[in-house]
Structure 1
Amino acid sequence: MRTFVSAAAALVGLLMAAVAVPAMWVDRNIVQEDGFVALTAPLGKDPAFQQRLATAAVDALASGANIPEALTQLARPVLDNAAQSLTALPGYSEAWAETLRKSHRLTFADPSTVPPDADVTSSLTLDVAPLVGLVARQVSEATTLPLEGPGQVLIHIGQSNQRQLIERVTVYAPMGYAVAVGACIAFVIAFVAARRRWAVLAGMGVGALVLAGVWKLASDAAGTAVAATSSGNDVAELFKSEFVAACSAGFGQWIVAAAVAGAALLATGIAVRVTGARKRGNFEHR
């Protein structure tokens, strides 16, 4: 009976861990604002993405700033220069971080709290208004034109039917912590109830290695599925590609940690088994 209880508890623990670990990663790195900013901040340093983003910001300012036609020739060179050197402007890092924070709030906020003029029907919405405002200040300083950036400049990523997925992730991802606690309890029960505790350690190690492989396959499949969607916008497509790569790399670190922990548990279980066998052998010889 103890063996059955131990095996069942270990299996339940592994199944719960299979759900809990990805859920916790998603909550920490995507649902939580600080984690999302930390994950996506390096995207602003990618040269190709920088250029597309700068062009989009300058185009948004040029089309919405109501620059008098007589001064267009004066402002155009400054706008073109800003498009080429946006990341070198003072305040770029802060503007990009604010862009990510505003985008996260639009994407993960309760729809009832979002301003009516903000269309958040896509799976992810970038608001690059802080970057447009940065360009506007640069142009104002260079030309003395009293330009102000728009309050919102939205770039939609994904499709409207994926919005429900975002809402579900927001609700269910934080539950991963409770599931993780349940998994730990199950593992403790498995270890306490076991007749051969080395077998529990080895079994959990093998299970962790299997989960690491499953998570890797699932991560690759999810990345492929996201990449297959189309946003119809060059900036959105580039951001999506870089975002998927960042997620894969970030979760990949957790997968490696799980694989290392699994290998350590397996090695410990085998070591305990060998040590126990040697002790019994020495006792019998006496």
Structure 2
Amino acid sequence: MRTFVSAVAVLIGLVLAAVAVPAMWVDRNIVQEDGFVAFTAPLGKDPVFQQRLAAAAVGSLGAERIPAALTGLVTPILESAARSLTTMPGYPDAWTETLRKSHRLNFAAPGTLPAEAESATSLTLDLAPLIALVAKQVADATTLPLEAPDQLLITLGQPEHRQILDRVSAFAPMGYALAAGALIAFALAFVAARRRWAVLAGIGLGVLVLAGGWTLAADAAGGAVTRTRSGNEVAEIFKSEFVAAASASFAQWILVAAVVGGVLLAAGLVLRLVGGRRRVPAAGSR
């Protein structure tokens, strides 16, 4: 009976861990605003993405915002801004604010958003802070009171993707409770077991199997996201860079899990070997 209880507890712990680890990663790196900003901030340093980002920001300040008489004066300044946007002193802060505003649009409760933002039904990236940086440079150079839009939303996905994200953001924080449940199940299995080395080895082997499963699932999820098309060049570059960064980040979590699994498996086998050697002399002495 003790062996059965121990085996069931190990299986329950592995099932909980299988869901808990990806859920915690999603919560820390995507759902939580500070984690999302820290995770995606390096994307703004990619040269190709920077070029497309600058072009999109400058292009949003079209002719309708510039008097016709000043077009010849402002156009060279806008072209210069497109080339130098990412080297401006205010670019890091503007990019960070872009990420924060985008995160709030995608994750905040609908009642906390402005009325115009609540109408967004797909994943979006708000480039307004970057446009404001360009507008300020133009205003400083020409004394033209150029006003940047409060929002410039770039669609990153389809409405169904927004619905998936809403469900994921609601479920992801539960990963910590699931992880605690997995640890309790493993502890129960260890206490109830007749052969504790088998529990350690079983948990270790199970974690190694989970690591392989997480790798396959992450590759499949990344491929599914990459295959979606938004029709916007900036969005496509952001998406591809984001998927690559997410894959690399989660791969580190998988590596840690694999190392832990390997250590537990080795510890179980060593404990089995040591226990077997102790029993042999005792039997011979009789």
Q: TM-score range by the shorter chain?
A: over 0.9
Return the letter of the residue paired with 2:38: A
- Specify the alignment match of 2:17 in structure 1: 17
- Specify the alignment match of 2:257 in structure 1: 258
State the secondary structure of the residue aligned to 1:79: helix
Return the letter of the residue paired with 2:17: A
Preserved contact between residue 197 and residue 268 of structure 2 (Cα < 8 Å):
yes
Give the Cα–Cα distance (whole angstroms) in 1 for the partners of residues 2 and 259 of structure 2: 29
The CA deviation at 1:285 is 4.0
- Specify the alignment match of 1:3 in structure 2: 3
Write out per-residue CA displacement over residues 261-286 of structure 1, whole angstroms, 9 at most, x where no aligned residue. Answer: 00000111111111111222233344
Matches within 5 A, 1:126-137: 126-137=125-136
Write out per-residue CA displacement over residues 240-272 of structure 1, whole angstroms, 9 at most, x where no aligned residue. Answer: 111111111111111000000000001111111
- Specify the alignment match of 1:55 in structure 2: 55
Preserved contact between residue 63 and residue 71 of structure 2 (Cα < 8 Å):
no
Matches within 5 A, 1:230-249: 230-249=229-248
Give the Cα–Cα distance (whole angstroms) in 1 for the partners of residues 88 and 62 of structure 2: 18
State the secondary structure of the residue aligned to 2:60: helix
- Specify the alignment match of 2:36 in structure 1: 36
Give the Cα–Cα distance (whole angstroms) in 1 for the partners of residues 54 and 71 of structure 2: 19
TM-score normalised to structure 1 length: 0.97
Matches within 5 A, 1:148-227: 148-227=147-226
Between 187-196 and 271-280, the greater mean CA deviation after superposition:
271-280
Give the Cα–Cα distance (whole angstroms) in 2 for the partners of residues 63 and 11 of structure 1: 64
The CA deviation at 1:125 is 0.9
Write out per-residue CA displacement over residues 221-248 of structure 1, whole angstroms, 9 at most, x where no aligned residue. Answer: 0001111111010001111111111111
State the secondary structure of the residue aligned to 2:261: helix
Write out per-residue CA displacement over residues 163-206 of structure 1, whole angstroms, 9 at most, x where no aligned residue. Answer: 21111011111111111111111000000000000000000000
Instruction: Give identity over the alignment, percent.
Output: 67
Return the letter of the residue paired with 1:201: L
- Specify the alignment match of 1:105 in structure 2: 104
Give the Cα–Cα distance (whole angstroms) in 2 for the partners of residues 263 and 49 of structure 1: 39
Give the Cα–Cα distance (whole angstroms) in 1 for the partners of residues 129 and 63 of structure 2: 16
Between 265-274 and 105-114, the greater mean CA deviation after superposition:
105-114
The CA deviation at 1:63 is 4.6
Give the Cα–Cα distance (whole angstroms) in 2 for the partners of residues 185 and 177 of structure 1: 12
State the secondary structure of the residue aligned to 1:85: helix
The 1:221/1:63 distance shift into structure 2, 3 A limit, reads: farther
Write out per-residue CA displacement over residues 84-136 of structure 1, whole angstroms, 9 at most, x where no aligned residue. Answer: 111100110000000000000000112233222223211x2111100000111
Return the letter of the residue paired with 1:6: S
Q: Please, which runs of 5 or more residues in structure 1 have no aligned partner?
A: none
